[in-house]
Amino acid sequence: MSIRALILLIASIVLGTMHRLGGALFLILLFGVEWFYPVLFELMPGSATPGKRALGLKVVMDSGLPITPAASLVRNLLRAADFLPFLYAFGLVAMLLRPDFKRIGDLAAGTLVVHAGSVRLHGAMPEAAPRAPARALSTEEQAAIVAWAGRATRLTAARHDELAQLAAPLTRSASRPADTAHATEQLLGIAHWIVGRR
């Protein structure tokens, strides 16, 4: 919104030098910026206004498809309804009531504002000697262990060790019952075994 205000400010300075024709162009621009600026940018590649783009957001249809002109028009015209009774109050209420955080315009147009890039939380697993688990693991257990291993780069070592303790029944060894570093190492080995290193 501040980007739009800036466009209008610059335009008013430039067009202000042009007397009445400038005034007319300014009014037309004001109109265009008020109603069609988002439509224009949402229909360009990237499907996002500059503000959304700066925040890594874009608009898509509920189906994940690129936004259609009709949907963009509807969601941006209904901005007027979202704005009522003051300062987007209805839009805010609609967003807070819904898990997918849609305002009224998004509900009617069937559109969704999403993060443009997928966030990668999982890095490479730290190296460890592959090790078969002591018992057969369910797919959920396998997934949890591999996901845990992939998060090694994003967690502190202490937290990583702490999480590994949850799988203690798999890693506990008779000789070293309380060795957390050993447990982490063992669980990493199991993770490598699960993804197929044997």
Partner 1 sequence: MTMTPLQFESRQHARWDELEQALAAIETGRKPKTKAAKEDKAAKRAAAASAIDPAHFAALYRAACEDLALARSRAYPVHLTTRLEDLTARAHQLIYRRSDYGLARLKRLALIDFPQAVRAHWRYLLVAGVVFTLPLFLIGIATYADPGFVLSMHDADTARQYDHMYGPGSEPLGRERGADSDWMMFGHYIMNNIGIAFRCFAGGVFGGLGSLFFLAYNGAAAGSVAGYLTARGHGEAFYSFVVTHGAFELTAIVISGAAGLRLGHALLAPGRRTRLEALKLAASEAAVLVYGTIALLVIAAALEAFWSSARWVGPAVKYGVGAACWALVIGYLTAQGRPARHAAPSSAPTSTPMSIPMSTTRTGHAG
Sign for the pseudo-dihedral over CA of 83, 66, 115, 62: positive
Q: Whose Cβ is closer to partner 1: residue 9's or residue 80's?
A: 80
* Residue 95 engages partner 1 in binding (rule: CB under 8 A): no
Instruction: Tell me the window of 6-14, 76-84, 158-166, 169-177 that interacts with partner 1 (CB under 8 A).
Output: 76-84
DSSP state of 127: P
* Residue 142 engages partner 1 in binding (rule: CB under 8 A): yes
Distances (CA, A) of 65 to 36, 98, 110, 126: 21, 21, 11, 37
Pick the binder of partner 1 from 27, 54, 92, 129 (CB under 8 A).
Answer: 27
Pick the binder of partner 1 from 2, 139, 156, 175 (CB under 8 A).
Answer: 139
Instruction: Tell me the window of 5-13, 74-82, 158-166, 168-176 that interacts with partner 1 (CB under 8 A).
Output: 74-82
Instruction: Output the smallest distance, CB 63 to partner 1, in A.
Output: 8
The contact pattern for partner 1, residues 49-68, with x = CB under 8 A and - = no contact, is -----------x---xxx-x
* Residue 71 engages partner 1 in binding (rule: CB under 8 A): yes
Region of residue 19 (phi > 0: left; psi between -120 and 50: alpha; otherwise: beta): left
Q: Whose Cβ is closer to partner 1: residue 16's or residue 69's?
A: 69
Residue with tokens 């369910």: 138
Pick the binder of partner 1 from 37, 48, 113, 150 (CB under 8 A).
Answer: 150
Instruction: Output the smallest distance, CB 70 to partner 1, in A.
Output: 4
Region of residue 97 (phi > 0: left; psi between -120 and 50: alpha; otherwise: beta): alpha
Distances (CA, A) of 94 to 10, 72, 82, 146, 196: 34, 18, 9, 38, 47
Instruction: Output the smallest distance, CB 128 to partner 1, in A.
Output: 15
For residue 82, give the 3-state DSSP assignment.
helix
Instruction: State the amino acid at position 8 in one-letter form.
Output: L
Q: Whose Cβ is closer to partner 1: residue 74's or residue 183's?
A: 74
Give the number of other CB atoms < 10 A from CB of residue 83: 16
Count, residues near partner 1 per rule CB under 8 A? 51
